[in-house]
Chain A
Amino acid sequence: MNFNWDVFWHYLLQPSGIYLTGLWLTCLISVLAMLLGCSLGLIAALMRLSKNPLLNMPVRFYVWLMRGTPLLVQIVFLYTALAAGGIFRFEDIDLGWFIVPGNIQAAIIALGLNEGAYMAEIIRAGIGAVDKGQYEAGRSLGMTFGKLMRRIVLPQAFRVIVPPLGNEFNVMLKNTTLVSVIGVQELLLSTQMVTSATFRVFELYLVVAIYFLMLTTLWGFFQRWLEQRFGQSDRQPPATRRMFGRSAMKLLRGR
C-alpha cells in the first residue's frame, strides 16, 4: 500500500498555512451562509403563511426552484453562468483592511439562497406546530401580528426548529466543499492544491475527511447543548408532539 504515515501525521497535526486558511474559510462561509439562510427562511416562512397569493406564490416558486435543482448547479449558475451571460458579475469588494473576493460572495449567497428554501419549510412547520389557541390568546390581549410572532409564536416554534436547524448546519459545513468549483479556497480546494504539489493524495484526502469529521463532531456537541438549553426553560411537549415534530421535519427535509 502506498501510504506514508509521516505525511499523514504531518498534515494532520501541523497543518500548513494554506490548510488553516481553508479551515477558516469553510467555517466563515458556513456561518454566514447559514445566517443568510435563516433570515431568508424566516421571511419566506412568514410570507408563505400569508393567505395573499402575491406573498405566498413567490415563496412556493423559490422553494420549488431551490429544492428542484442541484446545489452545485446553483453555485456555478450564480457565479459563472450569470457572468458569462453578461447579466451579473461578482466583483471583489475592498473593505479597506480586507478584500472580499467575488467568488466568496457568490459562495455565501448561493449556499444561503439554497439554505433559505429548506429553512423556510422548517420554520413554517415550527410555526405550524404552535397551538392555534396561543394566537387567539395573544390577539385577545391586543397584540399585533408582529408582536404576536415575536413574543409568543416564534419562541415556541424555536424549540421545534432547533433540532433540524442543527442538522442543517451540519449539512452546510459539508456542502461548503462544493464552492471549490468556483475557486474558493476552502478545505477541499486547499487539499487539492497541496496534493498537486506533493502527490500524496490518499494521505491528504484522509486528513481532510478527518478535519470535517472534527468540525461536525464539535458542532454535534454544541447542538446537543443547544437543544438541552432550550428544553429547560420551556415546557416539555407531550411525547407524541415531539415525535411528530421530528418525523415531520425529516419528511420535509427530504434528505
Chain B
Amino acid sequence: MAHKSEDLIIEALDIHKSFGDLQILKGISLQVRRGEVVVLIGASGSGKTTFIRCINLLEDIQSGRIRVNGQSMGYRERADGSLVRDSERNIARQRRDIGMVFQRFNLFAHMTALENIIEAPIHVLGVAREAALNQGRELLARVGLADKAEHYPSMLSGGQQQRVAIARALAMKPKAMLFDEPTSALDPETVGEVLQVMKELAEDGMTMVVVTHEMGFAREVADRVVVLDQGELIEQGPPEQIFSRPSHPRTQAFLSRVL
C-alpha cells in the first residue's frame, strides 16, 4: 500500500510486547491513513486489545516504533537515530492527539456527564470554561444525550455512559480514535446506539481503529479489516474480502466460529 506519508495518521512498526515470558505481540505493523476505519478482529488473547493500548502508550513495548501524525510516540530520536524514553510530560502531550474509548467506559465517577467532557479541554488544553461548556453541550447533543448533561455516570445506562465516553474523547479534537471493545460490556439492547454513534463518526471522516467482536459493524463500516492471531497480524483487507474469501486458514477457522 503506497500512500503519501503525510496521509498516515498512525504508523506502528514491528511492535513487540511481552508480559514476562509470555509474548503477546510478535512484531505487528499497521498503518492507518487519515479518515480510514480499521477494525481489528481475532480470538480472545490474540493481542488486539494490547495492540491498541500500545498505540497510546498505556502499555510499554519491548521494541518497535509508533508514530502518530508523523510524531514519534513515547520515544525521542537522538541525532544518531537511537531511541530514548520520553518524559512523562511529553508522553502526556502526545496522548492528546489520540482519543481512547474503553470497554468499561471509565467515566470519571465524581463528575457529571458534562463535567466529564469538559475536564480535559479545560485542565489539559487550557480551553476557557465557557467555550468548553458550549463544546461539551454540542458533543452531548451529537451523541444524543443533550438531556443528560447533569447526570452522574451511575445514573446512566451502559450505552449512555459509553456515548458520553465517546463525546469526552472527541472533546480533545483527536487526530484518531481508538476503540477497545466498546460494546462488549453493554446490555444487548444498548449496543446498537453506541454502534450508531461510531458509524456516524466514521461517516464524518474520523480516523478510527476499532477492536470489536461486532462482525456486522466491521462488515458495514470498516474500510479495512485486520485479523490478529496469537500476537501476529495474519491477514488484512477490505471487509468483503476477509468475510467472504479469507485466505489464511486461521482466519477461516476464526470466522467459522464467530459467524
A180–B20 alpha-carbon span in the complex (Å): 56
Q: Does B88 sit within 8 A of A, measured CB to CB?
A: yes
For B152, the closest partner residue in chain A by CB is A235
Q: Does A236 sit within 8 A of B, measured CB to CB?
A: yes
Q: Which residues of B contact A137 (CB under 8 A)?
A: 100, 102, 106-108, 165, 168
Q: Which residues of B contact A235 (CB under 8 A)?
A: 109-110, 152-154
A187–B236 alpha-carbon span in the complex (Å): 78
Q: Does B83 sit within 8 A of A, measured CB to CB?
A: no
Min CB gap B52→A, angstroms: 11
Bin chain A's interface residue count: 20 to 34
For A132, the closest partner residue in chain B by CB is B106
Q: Which of B117-125, B191-199, B206-214 contacts A (4 or more CB under 8 A)?
A: B117-125
Q: Does A140 sit within 8 A of B, measured CB to CB?
A: yes
Contact residues, A29-83 vs B (CB, 8 A): none
Min CB gap A233→B, angstroms: 7
Q: Does A96 sit within 8 A of B, measured CB to CB?
A: no
When the two chains form the complex, which single residue of B96, B105, B154 contacts A142, counting CB atoms closer than 8 Å?
A: B96
Q: Which residues of B contact A145 (CB under 8 A)?
A: 88
Q: Does B98 sit within 8 A of A, measured CB to CB?
A: yes
A155–B121 alpha-carbon span in the complex (Å): 19
Q: Decide: B110 and A156 in contact? CB cutoff 8 A.
A: yes
A60–B107 alpha-carbon span in the complex (Å): 33
For B98, the closest partner residue in chain A by CB is A140
Bin chain B's interface residue count: 20 to 34
A 149-185 to B, binary, CB cutoff 8 A, 1 in contact else 0: 0011001100100000000000000000000000000
Min CB gap B59→A, angstroms: 10
Q: Does A10 sit within 8 A of B, measured CB to CB?
A: no
Q: Does B172 sit within 8 A of A, measured CB to CB?
A: yes
Q: Which residues of B contact A151 (CB under 8 A)?
A: 119, 123
A180–B84 alpha-carbon span in the complex (Å): 58
A86–B119 alpha-carbon span in the complex (Å): 54
CB<8 Å pairs between A and B, sample of 9: A133-B105, A136-B100, A137-B106, A139-B58, A140-B56, A141-B95, A141-B168, A156-B109, A234-B110
Q: Does A12 sit within 8 A of B, measured CB to CB?
A: no
Given A136-B106, A142-B120, A152-B108, 8 extra CB contacts under 8 A: A131-B109, A137-B100, A137-B106, A140-B56, A141-B124, A142-B172, A151-B119, A156-B110
Q: Does B250 sit within 8 A of A, measured CB to CB?
A: no
Q: Which residues of B contact A144 (CB under 8 A)?
A: 88-89, 92
A136–B59 alpha-carbon span in the complex (Å): 10
Seen from chain B, the residues whose Cβ lies within 8 Å of a Cβ on chain A are 56, 58, 88-89, 92-93, 95-96, 98-100, 102, 104-110, 119-120, 123-125, 152-154, 165, 168-169, 172
Q: Which residues of A contact B153 (CB under 8 A)?
A: 235
Given contacts A136-B102, A235-B153, contact A141 B109 (CB under 8 A): no
Q: Which residues of B contact A156 (CB under 8 A)?
A: 108-110
For B121, the closest partner residue in chain A by CB is A141
* A-B residue pair count with CB separations less than 8 angstroms: 76
Contact residues, A82-116 vs B (CB, 8 A): none
A156–B110 alpha-carbon span in the complex (Å): 6
Min CB gap A52→B, angstroms: 13
Min CB gap A155→B, angstroms: 5
Q: Does A250 sit within 8 A of B, measured CB to CB?
A: no
* Residue with the highest number of chain A CB atoms closer than 10 Å, among B99, B100, B107, B120: B120
Q: Which residues of A contact B107 (CB under 8 A)?
A: 137
A155–B109 alpha-carbon span in the complex (Å): 10
Q: Does A229 sit within 8 A of B, measured CB to CB?
A: no
A141–B172 alpha-carbon span in the complex (Å): 7
Q: Does A147 sit within 8 A of B, measured CB to CB?
A: yes
Q: Which residues of A contact B168 (CB under 8 A)?
A: 137, 141
A140–B105 alpha-carbon span in the complex (Å): 12
When the two chains form the complex, which single residue of A131, A136, A142, A236 contacts B124, counting CB atoms closer than 8 Å?
A: A142
For B116, the closest partner residue in chain A by CB is A137
Q: Which residues of A contact B125 (CB under 8 A)?
A: 142
A143–B88 alpha-carbon span in the complex (Å): 10
Q: Which residues of B contact A139 (CB under 8 A)?
A: 58, 92, 95
Given contacts A133-B104, A137-B106, A155-B110, contact A143 B123 (CB under 8 A): yes
A147–B95 alpha-carbon span in the complex (Å): 14
Q: Does A217 sit within 8 A of B, measured CB to CB?
A: no
A58–B125 alpha-carbon span in the complex (Å): 36
Q: Decide: B58 and A136 in contact? CB cutoff 8 A.
A: yes
Q: Which residues of B contact A133 (CB under 8 A)?
A: 102, 104-106
When the two chains form the complex, which single residue of A134, A136, A142, A143 contacts B109, counting CB atoms closer than 8 Å?
A: A134
